[in-house]
Amino acid sequence: MATLEEVGELITTELRKRVERLFETVEEGTSDFMKLSFLADEVGELADKVSEIYSELDQALSRGLQDGIGGDDQDLRDEQENGSGSGRRQQSQTRQRRSEQSSSAPEEVTKEDLLERAREVKVEGRSSMSKEELAQAIEAEEALTKEALLEQAQDAEIEGRSSMTKEELREAITDARR
């Protein structure tokens, strides 16, 4: 298993390569905007992945500190071994088990808090959802990668999608569905 430092170096190297390719293409004065868009998307997608990795790491460390690490070490090892695909599913299941175990916590999230967050991430049908359904819908919406949002935007034929942020893509997709 690679150390955090090794992973950081690999990601930094790959990000640098992608940025250099984009920079070189711009310097060449190319008028191939599809190529520029593709290269810019590659940079953006990798930057999003870096953000997701560090966010997941932060959450795992916070859970470890909050839970006193204890028996959850195996869950974290399982998530790491399963990679990003099934690891996210397992991470979601682990979070759900933890929230069920600590449902009597004094700082429990209210339905109003969940409704506000659901509004921010544009969850449709939120007003008729139960608290549990809201939590699941928010988690599912937040777990969408920029790549998945770009695919949805392409299907909806949204113009300018390659230069949009994740939040802008979410909003444009929601608007297109109306």
pLDDT digits (tens, 9 = 90+) for 20-43: 888 888 888 877 788 888 888 888
Question: Both 88 and 63 in a single domain?
Answer: no
* Radius of gyration in angstroms for the set of CA atoms belonging to the chain, rounded to a whole number: 19
Q: Tokens 């500190």: give the residue.
A: 65
Last residue of a domain, one of 28, 47, 68: 68
In a domain, residue 83? The reply is yes
In a domain, residue 43? The reply is yes
In a domain, residue 173? The reply is no
Question: Both 56 and 19 in a single domain?
Answer: yes
Q: Which domain holds residue 79?
A: 70-100
In a domain, residue 131? The reply is no
Each residue's pLDDT tens digit, 54-103 = 777 777 777 777 666 544 444 544 444 444 444 444 444 444 544 444 44
Question: Both 50 and 86 in a single domain?
Answer: no
Question: Both 24 and 87 in a single domain?
Answer: no
The pLDDT value given to residue 107:
53
Last residue of a domain, one of 68, 84, 109: 68
Average pLDDT over residues 129-143: 86
Q: How far apart are CA 46 and CA 51, in angstroms?
A: 9
DSSP letter at 157?
Answer: T
Question: Both 83 and 56 in a single domain?
Answer: no
Question: Both 53 and 17 in a single domain?
Answer: yes
Question: Both 2 and 16 in a single domain?
Answer: yes
In a domain, residue 134? The reply is no
The pLDDT value given to residue 158:
92
106 versus 2: the higher-pLDDT residue is 2
In a domain, residue 96? The reply is yes
Task: Count up the domains in the chain and report the number.
Answer: 2
Q: How far apart are CA 23 and CA 17, in angstroms?
A: 10
